[in-house]
Amino acid sequence: MIPFKTVTLCDKHWIDEIVMAEGSRSADYNFGNIYIWDNRYKQLVARTEGRMLTKLRYAGKPTFVFPIGTGPLRPAIEALREYACAHGYEPFCLRGITEEHRALLEQEYPGCFAFSEDTDNADYIYEAEKLATYSGKALHGKKNHCNRFEAENDWRFVPLTRELIPGCLDMLDVWSEENAERLEKSIVYEHTAIVRAFAAFEKLGLEGGVLYVGDRIVGFTLGELACEDTFDVHFEKAEGSLNGAYPMTCRELTRMLMAKYPSLRYINREDDMGIEALRRSKESYKPVYLLKKYTATWSVI
């Protein structure tokens, strides 16, 4: 039986090795996301023959994630199927299936899985160069907001450090109060995840930035590399009433990352969770593509 265990910071080394070997731009697999969202998804992990096995709770039900890695796929899938059968988890499902994973499953198990697209969980992928400049007609509005922000404010954007976290948490408390009614229960989970991320900021290897106007924090953002050419933005918060604060926070983080990582090409701003306002916001930054996700359900009787 699979020796699933709760994720701890001690697991970061081996999970990072598997994630980087996988090379996926998906936000679902990096260690930071697994760790900081524990309160919501209760993820358990194990490893076998170069692959990571993951069990979690989604919509109140136990399910599994595609076993990423470089080892043989079939033994990993069979181990998960056996575990699911032993615990009465039927039908057997795998979530977070990318197009590449779907192709692997169809090759290994032709006709055995039915696939359904999880539109609410698709990741929004952007060209880093576009977010760093807001060049082109489609992003002209973002550029104008930034120009106005720069003209009207004494601002600066600095790398996120441990010393700045208390101020970011104060801003988060205000932001959460102002948006609680609009975002309902999801905001509680997100608030907990951000606090957890800040608590283990250095050990998780997270990076981010803080936007100031004068001595006041008006925005912050943080995330981690998903793969060699993609940075995954876990969180971005800004004063919604301050014109240009959000596009400035996004732009300045991207510029900072591009200066540090010459191979960076894409920014993953994650999914919209099915929240219409969030979907409109992410679409307004003009993603180069959506990284589709599927649920694979065992369909052989």
- The tens digit of pLDDT for each residue in 67-121 reads 999 999 999 999 999 999 999 999 999 999 999 999 999 999 999 999 999 999 9
Helix pair angle (245-260, 140-152), 10° resolution: 100
The span from the CA of 20 to the CA of 12, in Å, is 12
Is the pLDDT score of 127 beyond 70? Answer: yes
- Tokens (6 digits) for 293: 């996700």
Is the pLDDT score of 180 beyond 80? Answer: no
pLDDT of residue 64: 97
| Element spanning 219, H or E | strand 216-227
For the chain, which domains are there?
5-122+293-298 (3.40.630.30), 124-270 (3.40.630.30)
- The tens digit of pLDDT for each residue in 224-254 reads 999 999 999 999 999 999 999 999 999 999 9
**What is the torsional sign of CA 131, 133, 139, 144?**
positive
Residue closest to 133 by CA, chosen among 292, 287, 250: 250
Beta-strand relationship, 113-117 and 123-127:
unpaired
Contact predicate 219/190, CB 8 Å: no
Tell me the whole-structure pTM to 2 decimals: 0.95
The span from the CA of 129 to the CA of 110, in Å, is 40
Contact predicate 80/45, CB 8 Å: no
